[in-house]
Amino acid sequence: MTMKKATVDLFARIFSVLKPPPDMTISQWADEYRRLSSESSAEPGKWKTTKAPYQREIMDAISDIKVQKVVVMSAAQLGKTDGFILNPIGYYMHYDPSPIMVLQPTIQMAETFSKDRLSPMLRDTPVLKDRVNDKSRNSGNTILQKIFPGGHVTMVGANSASSLASRPIRILLADEIDRYPTTAGNEGDPLLLAGKRLTTFWNKKEICVSTPTIKGLSRIEVEFEHSTQEEWCVPCPECGEYQPLEWGRVVFDKNNLDDISHVCEKCGVVSNEIDWKEQFQKGKFIAKYPERKVRGFHLNALASLFVEWKEIVQKFLTANEEKKKGNIELLKVWTNTEMGQTWEEQGEQLEKDDLYKRREKYNCEVPEEVICLTAGVDTQDDRFEIEVVGWGEGKESWGIKYQVIYGDLKLKGIWDELDTFLNQTFTRADGAKLKIICTCIDSGGHFTNQVYKFCKPRTARRIFAIKGKGGAEVPYYSKPSTSNREKTPLFTIGVDTGKSLLYQRLAVKEEGPNYCHFPKEKDRGYTEEYFKGLTAEKMVMTYKRGKAQYVWKLKNSGYKRNEPLDVRNYATVALEIANPVLKKQDKKETSAVQTKKRGRRSRSGGII
């Protein structure tokens, strides 16, 4: 071989290494190289975009050099993590090495993602298998960081300010952003903090993916509203008109869910699920604002080839039945996870006149349907306000007594009066004697230690001190703490959660589960003033640190008497803490049980 030919061959080999790779999109890369793992897929093996055709355009938008930001607002279980988080990771590791950050809601979720999703993909996808060396101690690889030639994948939690202040990144993959905390420590919005790590790259990429939550509070909704707002559309099987599959045009008979159809918005022809899904390979995204730079995509569960419409309808029917009972939580979840839409709170409020007119004559101290009693106590500087509530099956409730005890809370006498009131016996219509099974007393205000001293020796009677805490994210009640001066159990309760639950129940208009009864008898304390206080607040949207949130506020700034609302809230959480079995035995069952008990006593030499 001549010197000249040897030189030509050398440079040919050099240029073959240095030349840019051929154009390839993420969907093409996934179809060619990606392998699904048995841990994360019901059908492990070769990836096929044709099984989820709506993913192709989104994946390819991520790898489009002209697009810097992609937003996906989607229903759950549509392959978001595989298609829009894992496939981009594999693509950039293998085809276009870059520093990558995966932002999860918490550090714990980041670790779970690494162990359960990323590691199996690296293990089972041949072109990625040898790019990360987890076996060598000197490789620098950990659970939260995988180093490969030309880049790294760093997994962080949105709740950790320190993890967001890491080295510069080119690719930011933000997963389930609606579950991020409002702020990472005291540093500010975690998504903005992570976004600052992108500033040094001209070809940066930011991908935001999430199932939405509450309208006005949803991060992904805000991102989507500032994007191209693209909807997944398929052609009508009859006329060929492209349109999104919308819940409002789904046709079904709840007594026969084997025949579910969708109406064409143009020609009006009703076509069944099979006919529509046969058109999915022709589907495409249509943008509302095509001129915008941020690509935004919306998907609902009707677009899935893995989910039958029957399943979606069944979940809706179940959620709708619960709504009739006063429980709207399932319908919220269905709207978010099946339709990929935000839930719009109604700014919950009730009118006192509607509830006042609902009052009824009991003609007894406690109605026969009541199984148990609870009480709530609010402490003011000059009085106790107390309510005793009866509970029946399905948490149907009866107001029994609303009592105000006036006096100086610094003196022992008024506390003795409170003890006497809570220790009394109430008579049910069938003659049964009922005691209060649990009482919650507010320890806020100026008499915190006195409440602790009162409750501690009465723990056996389930008389507990409580402390209210605001915020929609606070659970209704938490495990009690004894880290107070008197070492008495103290329950922290989510007052906003409780008020939302109570207003849902007060809105129920048919007797049965969750319905609230009120007595008409004058000596029970259920006056117009009571109902004015019970309905004194409404839920409104406000902003804190630039982020929208719902809070409870007085409807009338001139009226500040909301004690009946607080006291009913406390009596309700007392039921949750006691957690009794709300199932009433019929008279035959009760008689049989009593006979059996008498028989046991006689055999053991007791009273017959």
> Is 554 or 79 the better-scoring residue by pLDDT?
79
Instruction: Provide the 8-state DSSP code for 125.
Output: S
Domain spans, the chain: 20-229+288-307, 309-343, 352-578
CA triple 515-517-523, angle to 5 deg: 165
Distance CA 282, CA 521 (A): 68
Task: Tell me, yes or no, if the pTM score tops 0.75.
Answer: no
For residue 522, give the DSSP letter: G
Whether pLDDT at 597 is above 50: no
CA distance 302 to 437: 48
Q: Across residues 292-310, what is the average pLDDT?
A: 95
Residue closest to 334 by CA, chosen among 345, 324, 346, 320: 320
Phi-psi label, residue 253: left if phi above 0, alpha if psi -120 to 50, beta otherwise = beta
Q: How far apart are CA 605 and CA 602, in angstroms?
A: 5
For residue 417, give the H/E element and its range: helix 412-422
CA-to-CA dists, residue 112 to 178, 213, 476, 527, angstroms:
18, 22, 27, 55
User: 352-578 sits in which CATH class?
Assistant: alpha beta
Give the burial class of 9: count Cβ atoms within 10 A of its Cβ; 0-12 exposed, 13-18 middle, 19 or more buried.
Answer: exposed
Check if the beta carbon of residue 40 is closer than 8 Å to that of residue 115: no
Q: How far apart are CA 301 and CA 333, in angstroms?
A: 13
Give the distance between the most distant pair of CA atoms in the chain: 119
In percent, how much of the chain has pLDDT > 70? 87
Q: What is the mean pLDDT of residues 512-527?
A: 93
Q: Indicate the CATH number of 20-229+288-307 among 3.40.50.300, 3.40.50.720, 3.40.50.1370, 3.90.79.10.
A: 3.40.50.300
pLDDT of 135 > 70? The answer is: no
Please report the pLDDT score of residue 569 as a whole number.
95
Looking at the DSSP bridge assignments, the partners of residue 538 are 553
Beta bridge partners of 537: 554
What is the pLDDT, as a whole number, of residue 590?
A: 47
Q: What is the mean pLDDT of residues 187-208?
A: 87
Residue-by-residue DSSP string for 319-348: HHHHHHTT--HHHHHHHHHTT---B-----
Structure confidence at residue 208 (pLDDT): 97
Asked whether 265 and 249 are in contact (CB, 8 A), the reply is: yes
Mean per-residue pLDDT over the chain, rounded: 87
Element (H or E) spanning 454, and its range? helix 448-455
- The arithmetic mean of pLDDT across residues 101-119, rounded, is 94
The yes-or-no verdict on residue 202 having pLDDT over 60 is yes
